[in-house]
Structure 1
């Protein structure tokens, strides 16, 4: 595996709902994988029925998915109208983060948000990622004052990026370029 020439890079993307945080992450993942960078981690997607959001899926970058939260789930913590499925979050998301720390060149976590933060194992995995030397791209809830979200933002420092409709198209290219350089792949 190539050494990290420029030191560790950690990005935290934030922004209002609908600004394209997950889309930006997926574009960056796609570009990195096209260049044979080993990327692992998790991301979330909306589940829609008849045009209405009814829940969220949790997906592992290397394959596998589960239900993060759904209006028709019962049991587990409740966040707004959604019941959270901690088992799928931990089976898919947490294991993907931990495997990424062990094996990948870049680890992705989308999102460090209110639903995911109900899981102590998720919190521990993100904390472990922050303590690791791995390059990472995380998305964080824009209004959260949770101590872990604040820790992610502090760790990102100048690489805390607020996505807007104006900059969301250029941010994946910026991130990919810097990561490729740090990995010695330019």
Structure 2
């Protein structure tokens, strides 16, 4: 049975840090997915970038200067970034799961979920025989709440107290036998 872990935490708890360190620890395993990062101008957050774990390609996913739609808070979201960078490897993993591969998604958030193709792909991934670790906000959301209620999901809280130990703990559980 595949491993399904959702890492839940408040903004700033360290969810992205956990996923990045986990990806580095398990790189030889065949990691598919993406991470997100804040874009800052001085002390102000002005957007978010998405980075593909397979290719290392990076693009601006959301920014205060992108007009949208869609808009999430003060950010316009470029859904084309999801289509170009995030979805191709995820769709491939869902269609042809390779034993031992691992999908890492940072994150199942409002900006990413504004892309209906992403929602569909996530549903297919959770139906496939593949290990998945994804980050989610602690806030209620119909899409992520449905995932959190699944019987095959392990929901782990990420906090500043456990974020440093969590990547190695997860890597030990997810390493190939």
The TM-score normalised by the length of structure 2 is 0.91
Of 1, 5, 18, which aligns to 1:24?
A: 18
Of 26, 30, 35, which aligns to 1:38?
A: 30
Conserved 8 A contact 2:49-2:60: yes
Kindly state the Cα deviation for residue 178 of structure 1 after the two structures are TM-superposed. Answer: 0.8
Q: How many residues align?
A: 173
Of 119, 124, 144, which aligns to 2:120?
A: 124
Conserved 8 A contact 2:13-2:160: yes
Kindly state the Cα deviation for residue 51 of structure 1 after the two structures are TM-superposed. Answer: 2.6
Kindly state the Cα deviation for residue 76 of structure 1 after the two structures are TM-superposed. Answer: 2.1
State the Cα deviation string for residues 150-169 of structure 1 (Å, max 9, x = none): 23213375621011111111
Structure 2 unmatched ranges of 5 or more: none
Q: SS state of the match for residue 107, structure 2? A: strand
The TM-score normalised by the length of structure 1 is 0.87
Q: Which residue of 1 aligns with 2:9?
A: 15
Structure 1 unmatched ranges of 5 or more: 1-6
- How many Å separate the matches in 2 of 1:99 and 1:45? 24
Report 1:64-103 matches (<5 A).
64-101=57-94, 102=96
Coordinate RMSD, CA, aligned:
1.6
- How many Å separate the matches in 2 of 1:157 and 1:167? 23
Kindly state the Cα deviation for residue 75 of structure 1 after the two structures are TM-superposed. Answer: 2.9
State the Cα deviation string for residues 81-110 of structure 1 (Å, max 9, x = none): 100111111211122322333366001111
Q: Which residue of 2 aligns with 1:113?
A: 109
State the Cα deviation string for residues 7-34 of structure 1 (Å, max 9, x = none): 210110011110100000011110001x
1:53 aligns with 2:12: no
